[in-house]
Structure 1
């Protein structure tokens, strides 16, 4: 029985990966939830999943967390600017623990992406290569949930704001990305050396997203495309930290250049199932 550990297992993606692994018939007893706060993983422990303390910022916790682990999913940290140091600590601990495979959730087309977010992902990919650890790259595209958070505001004001121009975005749901990760982790074949560009089956512009929201809600919603700097200012004005607002605006500007598009249907190729449609995603958001 292969022991599989998932870092950040109480996060939005991590929990879904565990769900997807269990759905694929992976025994709970073979799973390790590596988490910063074990109290938040009581529900996972109740399912028979081993819960171990693992804090990216406290490398001493990682050796015990990874003991006996054969396959490790390193879910990228959300601490932008600190991620490379955190990921490096995980990689070093995995090497000490003798982990046989590390899967890393990187960014779509990380090595050529114009997005500011790409830099730490590229550095982590390079660190994995330098470590000598067998590894597989799961280059995740955009989560559709990132845009669906704007649905209530778009309905309130009759406008969806962004800076993506006519760029097409190949979104998928977190559950789709989680299932792709589970397919790799639970697969019988050795995926070491593979690079998976993961994105949704379909793509759409933000104008098409606005039109879908309007059609389903029965209210007018237009897409209002702004210059990157102006969009950042709007995000700051509604309370987002300046750095985070800048990253979101930069990501939209990158989308305008095609950075969030991929037509390879990489997720469904791994899972054997279609990714969420725009219609279904918007319907789910409107239901709340």
Structure 2
């Protein structure tokens, strides 16, 4: 494998990718980017023999130093939506300066790219990053992710909350999503990094193999928890006022509203997927994911 650097190495997706890569490749070929080299996770990586490098998306000088000798770069998108475009430009420019051969980027699936999309702030930052990467002259692989299955409990609550309320309360109407687990995404992306020559200058759509709405999820949870769970899709004003009364922070309410409207608009319902081709197997079903999450 070419000398590869994984950004977001202490995050959930980055950690999973590194674990999968390590099963097939030498740790000496894998560099990991961390903001704090003294953090517990960074020290663990160092002890395992990984090439630990310090860098921050907001600090171009740190990135230029961190990317020295790197042949392929896996860019896990930043989670600060407002700062994301600027941060990604820092990464791309630093990669160009270091003559990185191949950049891979975690983007998002979408149907609508203009400002009419409920998810425009998210979609636009990914779209602009994709355009910058393609224009950079580096080989690229764009990885368009559907919603992580792991957001389901974040959107609807964990086991205790569901058992207490016996209700899913989310303004996503009848919208469906092809949720996909981080573990499946990480395994597929480790496969790509191991044999990058087959994936140059391609855009992949990584979707789960089934489109589910929250009515279906409520029925699956009813079966798993052996308690009747219902689904209610309120109007936006009712949802936001109810969430405010529970003490939920306004930024969280805004995020839930934005993604619920995106789901309702069909932004995450996809027929085509490249995921199982790259995996060489079926993706994990959402029923199995829910069973593991809500047992």
TM-score range, shorter chain: over 0.9
1:53 and 1:61 in contact (8 A); partners too: yes
Q: Which residue of structure 2 lines up, in the alignment, with residue 134 of structure 1?
A: 139
Aligned twin of 2:8: 8
Structure 1 residue 133, shift from structure 2 partner: 2.1
Q: Distance in 2 between matches of 1:190 and 1:100?
A: 14
Taking a change above 3 Å as real, the CA distance of residues 229 and 138 of structure 1, as seen in their structure-2 partners, is farther
Q: What SS does structure 2 have at the residue aligned with 1:136?
A: strand
Q: What count of residue pairs does the alignment treat as equivalent?
A: 286
Aligned residue for 1:271? Answer: 279
Unpaired segments of 5 or more residues in structure 1? none
Per-residue deviation, 1:148: 2.3
Q: Deviations 1:109-160 (Å, cap 9, x if unpaired)?
A: 3764832321111111122123222211101110111012323322210101
What residue in structure 2 maps to residue 29 of structure 1? 28
SS in 1 for 2:215: helix
Three-state SS of the structure 1 residue aligned to 2:150 is helix
1:239-250 matches, cutoff 5 A: 239-250=247-258
| Superposition deviation, residue 240 in structure 1 | 4.2
| Cα gap change, 1:235 to 1:33, in 2 (>3 Å) | farther
Any conservation in 1 of the 2:112–2:267 contact (CA below 8 Å)?
A: no
Worse-matched range after superposition: 36-45 or 236-245: 236-245
TM-score normalised to structure 2 length: 0.91
Name the CA shift for 1:85/1:110 in 2 (closer, same or farther; >3 Å). farther
Aligned counterparts of 1:272 and 1:54: Cα–Cα separation in 2: 34
TM-score (norm 1): 0.93
In structure 2, relative to structure 1, the CA distance for the partners of 1:48 and 1:55 (3 Å cut) is same
Q: In structure 2, how many angstroms separate the alpha carbons of the residues matched to 1:110 and 1:167?
A: 13
Per-residue CA shift, 1:250-275, capped at 9, x if unaligned? Answer: 21111112111112232111111221
Q: 1:67 to 1:261 in 2, by over 3 A?
A: same
Q: More deviation in 236-245 or 28-37?
A: 236-245
Q: Distance between the aligned counterparts of 2:248 and 2:46, measured in 1? A: 35
Residues 205-257 of structure 1: per-residue CA shift (max 9 Å, x gap)? 11111111111111121011122343344444444442342232121111112
Moved more, 5-14 or 39-48: 39-48
Match of residue 150 from structure 2:
145
CA deviation string 1:76-100 (max 9, x = no partner):
0111211111111000000001110
1:24-63 equivalence runs, <5 A: 25-38=24-37, 39=39, 40-63=41-64
Alignment of 1:200-239 (within 5 A): 200-239=208-247
The change in CA–CA distance for 1:50 and 1:235 in structure 2 (over 3 A counts) is: farther
Residue 79 of structure 2: aligned partner: 78
Query: 2-side partners of 1:60 and 1:148: how far apart?
Result: 38
Task: Name the SS of the counterpart of 2:192 in structure 1.
Answer: helix
What is the match of residue 281 of structure 1?
289
Matched residues in 1 for 2:236 and 2:142: separation? Answer: 30
Partners of 1:146 and 1:223 in 2: CA distance: 17
Determine the C-alpha separation between the residues in 2 that align with 1:110 and 1:128. Answer: 20
